[in-house]
């Protein structure tokens, strides 16, 4: 692999232990996984997204198998965030005797999912988005009937403003990270994401479970949810987890390196803009701290290379269109393979079966 694709930074965790029993009942209990699946699987428009075998890419990379869980058509919302956001809204408004206004902060996909969840229930939604977000993301959120409020600054500033306005107005915050007034909604959002992991297990051929998962992270909710589900369902047979972040938004890597929740000191300027978050989610970090084997911070060049590889249909694979954020897991895999020491430490080779998640469409 090209040396230029090597990770900008990496950290190998010594706390990850495949034999450790499932310890996270207070955060993501298996009963919550089951409740989310029972609820979401009954939605009229629910359908599992495809698990695409990329045999040509696997051969090209010298691996046994590569699977790509393609989330581009999830619930018509264009990303896996629909699982967490829509389910989070439904859980947040249960038992309230009406449909309150819901608020959320986002760089795009979570806000669109919350807007979709509110529209399905007939609720008002107010979405706080960095003013720098692409116009098409703003348009898609408005098209769902949500009110959009643009924030000067980053996603983290949007989280603060959403919480402050919700507190003043008595709105319900549906957050994918811990923030004032969010209550249990970050847990509900992660519970929704566990449905993705359940689908993967149902779709994989018998006897061919993944050995590795390379999964991108912003605040870390999706990565933690997938880790928790595999931990509960597979125990010691679960795949090794590698968390991938942009080099300019590497809060989870910094947290792992310092062994405490730590914000990224990067600029947050990255082509992987849906992952541009400074501070990880605390409940997500508590799971990933004990489960992720490695944390990788990758360059925009690696993400763009991953987008190109997927679109080219290597070795006869079906071409897949996504954005740098959606291809960041593959960028992490390319980075690990480009670094001989990291490749050996992670046990990547011809017997490896790697799961990637394309978190969004083009």
pLDDT, tens digit, 9 for 90 and up, residues 102-158? 999 998 889 999 999 999 999 999 999 998 888 988 999 999 999 999 999 889 999
User: How large is the average pLDDT for residues 253-268?
Assistant: 96
Q: What is the pLDDT of residue 260?
A: 95
- Distance between CA atoms of residues 15 and 13, nearest Å: 6
pLDDT reading at 1 higher than 70 = no
Residues counted in the chain: 362
Q: What is the pLDDT of residue 3?
A: 58
Q: How many CB atoms lie within 10 A of CB 267?
A: 12
- Distance between CA atoms of residues 112 and 241, nearest Å: 28
- Using the Cα atoms of residue 206, residue 311, residue 239 and residue 177 in order, give the sign of their dihedral: negative
- Distance between CA atoms of residues 174 and 8, nearest Å: 33
Please enumerate in sequence order all residues whose Cβ is within 8 A of that of 96, keeping only pairs 6 or more positions apart, or say none: 172
- Distance between CA atoms of residues 44 and 36, nearest Å: 15
**Whole-prediction pTM value?**
0.95
Which residue has 């690696």 as its token pair? 302
- Distance between CA atoms of residues 259 and 200, nearest Å: 31
Tokens representing 126 are: 């107010």
- Distance between CA atoms of residues 267 and 296, nearest Å: 17
Q: What is the pLDDT of residue 25?
A: 65
């Amino acid at each position: 692999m090209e040396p230029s694709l090597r990770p900008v930074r990496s950290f190998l965790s010594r706390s990850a232990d495949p034999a450790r029993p499932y310890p996270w009942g207070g955060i993501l209990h298996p009963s919550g996984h089951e409740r989310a699946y029972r609820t979401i699987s009954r939605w009229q428009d629910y359908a599992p997204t495809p698990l695409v075998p990329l045999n040509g890419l696997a051969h090209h990379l010298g691996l046994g198998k590569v699977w790509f869980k393609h989330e581009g058509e999830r619930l018509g919302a264009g990303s896996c965030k629909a699982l967490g956001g829509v389910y989070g809204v439904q859980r947040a408004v249960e038992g309230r005797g009406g449909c309150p206004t819901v608020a959320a902060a986002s760089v795009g996909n979570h806000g669109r999912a919350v807007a979709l969840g509110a529209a399905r229930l007939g609720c008002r939604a107010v979405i706080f988005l960095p003013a720098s977000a692409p116009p098409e993301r703003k348009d898609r959120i408005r098209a769902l009937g949500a009110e959009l409020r643009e924030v000067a600054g980053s996603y983290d500033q949007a989280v603060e403003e959403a919480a402050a306005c919700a507190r003043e107005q008595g709105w319900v915050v549906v957050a994918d990270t811990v923030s004032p007034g969010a209550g249990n909604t970050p847990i509900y959002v992660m519970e929704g994401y566990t449905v993705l992991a359940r689908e993967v297990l149902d779709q994989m051929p018998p006897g061919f479970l993944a050995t590795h998962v390379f999964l991108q992270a912003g605040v870390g909710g999706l990565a933690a949810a997938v880790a928790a589900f595999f931990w509960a369902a597979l125990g010691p047979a679960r795949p090794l987890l590698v968390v991938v972040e942009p080099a300019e938004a590497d809060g989870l890597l910094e947290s792992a390196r310092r062994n405490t929740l730590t914000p990224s000191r990067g600029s947050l300027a990255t082509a992987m803009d849906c992952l541009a978050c400074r501070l990880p989610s605390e409940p997500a970090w508590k799971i990933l701290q004990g489960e992720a084997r490695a944390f990788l911070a990758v360059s925009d060049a690696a993400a763009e290379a991953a987008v190109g590889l997927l679109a080219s249909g290597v070795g006869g694979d079906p071409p897949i269109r996504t954005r740098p954020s959606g291809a960041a897991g593959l960028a992490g895999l390319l980075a690990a393979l480009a670094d001989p020491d990291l490749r050996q430490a992670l046990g990547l080779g011809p017997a490896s079966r790697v799961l990637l998640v394309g978190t969004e469409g083009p």
